[in-house]
Amino acid sequence: MLILRDYWIAWAISILFEWCEFSLEHILPILTECWWDHALLDLFGCNLIGMLVGYAVIVKYDIPRFN
């Protein structure tokens, strides 16, 4: 979030990364997770919280956003 400075792009990359993990489970067994771990813990847990904290830092320190 601090690098991209755009919420929607960061959210799209987060979803794309989870989709890549899910689609490559048969090649790399270490990526195997439960469905709720992909959806709830990764997307709506860690990734969303990280994006919100990053956005709060951007707002607090008045970091310019990209157009």
Residue 53 neighbours by CB distance under 10 Å:
12
* Close Cβ partners of 14 (under 8 Å, ≥ 6 residues apart): 43, 47, 48, 51
Q: Which helix (H) or strand (E) segment is 7 a member of? A: helix 7-23
| pLDDT for the residue numbered 36 | 82
Chain segment 2-60, per-residue pLDDT in tens: 888 888 999 999 999 989 988 998 999 888 888 788 778 888 899 999 999 999 999 99
